[in-house]
Structure formats: C-alpha cells, structure tokens
Structure 1
C-alpha cells in the first residue's frame, strides 16, 4: 500500500487515552497516527529498552498539541504545526492533548511496538 488515511490503519496500542495506529506503507517505512492525552508520559512503556527510550527514528508532523521530548542530552518542546525528526533515544511526554502523524523504518519500529505491547499485557 502506498497511501492510508487514519481510519485505514489498524490500532497497535491503545489504553489510558493513548492510541497508536501503524502499518507498513512501502519503501521499508511505516506510517503512524498517534494520539497522546495531556499528561501521558511514555517513559514507563519504554522501560527495559536501551536507555529506557524509544530506539526508532521518526519523521513527522505535530497536528495538535504540545509535547516535550526527553533525550539523554536534554529535552525539547514541540508544538502543533511543527515538522520533526526524532533520533533514537527519545521519550515523549504530552504537555497538552497531542495528535501527530509520523513515518518510521518498519524494521526499527516493530520491536518498540512489541515491547510497549508487552508492558501493558
């Protein structure tokens, strides 16, 4: 598949207001539609991964909200309307309700998703 709307993409992670929809879109990349409610901190879900952080790079666009991205070297705040690149080693925290769409290498993203799913099982 080379295109997908949010509703075309299956839910991979859901709970406590967090929703991640993702699927391969071609070229070794996956599309992700993510919703994080205000106050959501992904740190606990990434516990046990290298550096207790997401180890997949992401390119995307924040559609709504504001979030803080924590890394080993500090943190940065992103707001609606900004495009981004997040290198491996990051942990998002929603400062407001957030919606974003991102593209990630499928090979790198699948182990992160599997890990997060196992944390809530």
Structure 2
C-alpha cells in the first residue's frame, strides 16, 4: 500500500498566501494545501479548454472553504469536514485560513500545472 503524510511529501510549493506539499502515489497526486490568503487563480488557467481546469479532483476540506465554479454558472461550495469531487471544467476559488487534502490523477494534473507555470511566468 502506498501512503504519505504532509511532512514527508517530496515536493513543496510556496508562494504568498499558499503552501503545499505534493506526492505522487501510483498515478495519483496527493496535495496537502494550506491557504493563508484568499486566492482566485482563474487567470492561471488561460489556454486550457474553456480557460478552466480540466483535471478532476477529489478532496477533503479540513478547515476553511473552497468554491468550484463551472461554465454553466453553477458552483459547489465546500466547507470544513466535507469531501468533494470537482469534475473537469472548473475554476477554484480559495479562502484564507483554508486547509485541504486533494487527490488528482497525476497525468492530467501535470498538463494543467504546465499551463499554470507558463501563465505564472508570463505574469511575472
């Protein structure tokens, strides 16, 4: 059985208002994500189909809140103690003092992350 905890994840990502630890476990990336500031990353998805994340995510909100918005105008608001599934075609919105654990298929996540990194570099 593959397993990981936050302290032993092999990848760390940090920027203002956000810190995360990631680990690939047999084709699925586990992300331990903490937001200390509100974040609307919509511009980072530019260039993906419909300018939306195309990677599905399963997760659990430990504290705080996250919203997943969809092209049809609907949205899912997920709060503390709730598990979720965000299908492809979403844009997330994160709130300060939010901690979550998310599971994503690694190949799809890597495609999305490549676009995010390109957009982040172009934004400076």
Q: 1:7 corresponds to which residue?
A: 7
Which digits, 9 at most, give the CA deviation of each residue in 1:15-61, with x for residues without a partner?
A: 221233322111x2111112233420010111221111111011110
**Structure 1 pair 44/14, CA: closer, same or farther in 2 (3 Å)?**
farther
Higher strand fraction (1 or 2): 1
Unmatched runs of 5 consecutive residues or more in structure 1? none
Count the aligned residue pairs.
119
Q: 2:65 corresponds to which residue?
A: 66
CA RMSD of aligned residues (A): 1.7
Map residues 1-121 of structure 1 onto 2, 5 A cutoff.
Answer: 2-9=2-9, 10-11=11-12, 13-26=13-26, 28-73=27-72, 74-121=74-121
Q: TM-score, normalised by structure 1?
A: 0.87
Three-state SS of the structure 2 residue aligned to 1:70 is strand
**Structure 1 pair 14/51, CA: closer, same or farther in 2 (3 Å)?**
farther
Instruction: Work out the CA distance in 2 between the residues paired with 1:15 and 1:103.
Output: 21
Decide which structure has the larger Cα Rg and report it.
2
